[in-house]
A and B are shown apart, each in its own frame.
Chain A
């Protein structure tokens, strides 16, 4: 079992969990992910590792409460356990000295972006962080990102924090202003698509980190397949990072909606059960 040290809401619908996973903490590299099972009835949910502490043997997971699994996670307390944590999985980010790297994060995607941004800085790059969310109450890791970037720009769709507007608008200003060697984008599919379209024009190398539906995470089921440069790739073993200019984002977006109906059914079922049991739901 994987003992939970702390589990707090850092925003009304975003939780941060610190959990024992010594093997993952020891071996993980920026860009890798884990698959967790919240309990024995749980699904296998891929989540990027937001942070890790080798000495303590713990990892930090940041999750947005959007369905059954994440709602169950948010109901756990320090002293409880997760049923399973497998990893680290996937290829690490290709960290090297590129020059000037722009890290673009949207919403909960800022969590997986954080270790990548940190590793890019440690490799000697000049790092510009552009992070955005729909609204202030969904904004995460502002301070942590600010501690890394040579420049940090915040924005929200509704202007409640930072500049009003999308990350792409700010990115295009920076591209006009100076020479960019690499862009890393992590966030919702439409955001990663828009960033990739923007950088394609100027031929700026762009990595995106995909969060597909997965089961085993070892290339055995093929459920996470995505078309990259016309070829079928498995996000779990060939990714999770790919060249943003080659990813079929529309196909990915559609596959992510495969279980919308079932997910709603399960979540409603869970909420109903919570109400019967008098358990508070964070939603």
Chain B
């Protein structure tokens, strides 16, 4: 599916009727009637307030909602400018809802938004989640202004999060992306991004839209593609990120397949970039940093540890395809109840993640099985991490994560050696 095929004919006519727009803000949605009104209001206010001289457009890319989400986007009446304490804009903010074709998922929704941005000739584009409860008008400025005014191509979000929040980001995606590509993007799968029209066109030109990129793999794919494509990358401090409560119910195993599968697949695509990269450099951070109160989070450490132990009990035969025997022995030791509270030390964790990446690369096992089998390991790591940082404040947790990142960077030779050596397959009992 190429070109404008992802947009239905009716949507194409509507976009053609709009003419040009300088800034496009996209909101992917699927049954978000409860929250999307607030997101659209905040986005509208942000565009009116911070881009009064620009032609702007809000695009809702909807995946077939049945709860009236698109109607809310188009039918919402906006508060007058004087209530928002802002001057009257030169141009009205247009709003558009488009259904997209293709694989249902966030990535396909983004593709529809990029398509619209390209058609209207936007110089800047931002995307924000439709289930946000904490978005405010400043987010639009923080994500789009670095592109419009400072020449950035890609603006990743930087949130203030609870220390237990975003554990896949903290323990896998951030340290791995940083170690691989040498760029410190703290929230590479944050969900809210700004980008230049040039980069959006570059994204559109890639032949990835029939893969997991069309689903939840889109965030890490955009970040990695921007870094490896040599685009200018920055970060914007957005404060805290609060979602609608329905999201955590999504299947974690599927999420891992889509996100980790995309990360590992990108390692194959960009081997030439990461293989020669050592260390990492900070990424410019824009916006005023402030501490905010965050939602308390309940973590059932015992349940996670039990899942890890069940994994060790049942899946060692599967893991033999990916990990060294000595690593599996260490997992068995960690799972032993007499060993005290569950601890998965950094060096072991890094070896496991690198082992998974290499097993994925060498196809040592069916790739879906491989990633799904890592869920108990991840649960064990989260249980270990939560126990370890229980008494720490936000700064200490960041320092702790910095140490983990340095481990990832220091053990990169291990990754390279394993990546380039095809391991003999061992007999897997399961």
Chains A and B bind each other: no
